[in-house]
Amino acid sequence: MSYADVLAQLQGSALAHAISKSNHLIGATLQILHIFGFVLLLSSITVISLRLLGLTFTNQPVGRVARDGTRLIWIGLALAVATGTLMFVSGARHYGYNWAFEMKMGLLLAAVLTQVLLFQRVVSVDFPRPALARASAVLSMTLWFAVGLAGRMIGFI
Amino acid sequence: MSTLLALAERIENTPFAVALAESRYAFPVVEGVHLIGLALSVGLIFLTDLRLVGVLFKDVPVPDVLRQLRPYVLIGFAAVFVSGALLFWAEASMLVENPAFPFKLLFIALAGANALYFEWVTAKRIPFRAAQARNAGVASLVLWTLVIVCGRLIPYMQLS
């Protein structure tokens, strides 16, 4: 089965039809929830990153700021991935050949790997090494901002 | 034709607006900046609201949260406002005719009024009343949510 067949199968599935053919407000609702997930994700990463950079909540240990923020990161990511998957299935042939979508997936992979392998390890201690803390904050924020930018471009390609 | 629509058509027929609307990359990038600015400004406001409601960062005193996040909220708003003005410039007539757009502006105004009342009245009282702060947080969560919903509905409500 080729890539094109897989995309066609997905877009022709009952699930895809339920999303795209029944009522356009279902698609709009998914888009709105996708944005909420992203806003939650990005703002909590921003708050933790600002603490890592020594710009906010400096009288609080990194670990304590991160504990509250990290829960929201995963809630936001779960919401964005769940709604994003449904959006992809409903328009697989549109997204499958969109360079902005491909770029977004590449950046997303890099951002999630950075989050799991670097960021979460750095913030798991109360006082991480400053240079490492700053580097992971900048890298993580850059990648997630780029995911958002590429994602917003998909609809205009 | 209404005066507002005539004005909107004049705005979007200026050479700059035409160039922006027809550009291959500039327009999507401005849309992207609008989203990132939103995530920064409204996103950090959401986190502040969750602190006021008592869900998040309970160890950090409320005035610290407000004061320390404010510059980044304002940076986000600057990005949202500038990109939003550019998007309006490029699509003025579509927006003035769009049913979702006036509601988006209304909810922005209400959210702004709620924030100013909180900053100038509620937070000035020392010690401020926790119940009042919680109400302001809930109102802010609801109003900014409505702003995002109306904003995302704009392309689904185009008349033409």
Which tens digit of pLDDT belongs to each residue from B143-160? 999 999 999 999 988 875
The four Cα atoms B152, A107, A155, B104 give a dihedral, to 10 degrees, of: 20
For B110-150, write each residue's pLDDT tens digit.
999 999 999 999 888 877 788 899 999 999 999 999 999 99
Chain A residues near residue B69 by CB distance under 8 angstroms: 47, 56
B2 vs chain A: nearest CA distance in angstroms?
30
Is A48 part of the contact surface with chain B (CB cutoff 8 Å)?
A: no
pLDDT of the residue at A25: 84
Q: Is the pLDDT of residue B1 over 60?
A: no
The arithmetic mean of pLDDT across residues A60-73, rounded, is 91
Residues A138 and A132: their CA atoms lie apart, in Å, by 10
CB contact under 8 A, B46 and A60: no
Per the prediction, chain B carries an average pLDDT of 93
For A28-55, write each residue's pLDDT tens digit.
999 999 999 999 999 999 999 999 999 9
Q: Locate tokens 């600057």: which residue?
A: B78
Closest to A70 in 3D by CA, of A50, A45, A53: A45
Q: Which domain holds residue B102?
A: 3-157
ipTM beyond 0.95?
Answer: no
Q: Which amino acid is at B150?
A: C
A26, A48, A56: best mutation site toward chain B, by most B Cβ within 10 Å?
A56
Report how many domains make up chain B. 1
Residues B51 and A44: their CA atoms lie apart, in Å, by 13
Is A50 part of the contact surface with chain B (CB cutoff 8 Å)?
A: yes
Q: Tokens representing B158?
A: 């185009």
Residues B69 and A49: their CA atoms lie apart, in Å, by 12
Q: Is the pLDDT of residue B25 over 80?
A: yes
Task: Identify the H or E element spanning A91.
Answer: none
Chain A residues near residue B107 by CB distance under 8 angstroms: none
The arithmetic mean of pLDDT across residues B73-98, rounded, is 95
Under 8 Å between Cβ of A49 and A89 = no
- The percent of residues in chain B predicted with pLDDT above 90, rounded, is 79
Chain A residues near residue B153 by CB distance under 8 angstroms: 28, 32
Residues A89 and A11: their CA atoms lie apart, in Å, by 6
Per the prediction, chain A carries an average pLDDT of 93
Is A100 part of the contact surface with chain B (CB cutoff 8 Å)?
A: yes
CB contact under 8 A, B40 and A56: no
Chain B residues near residue A70 by CB distance under 8 angstroms: none
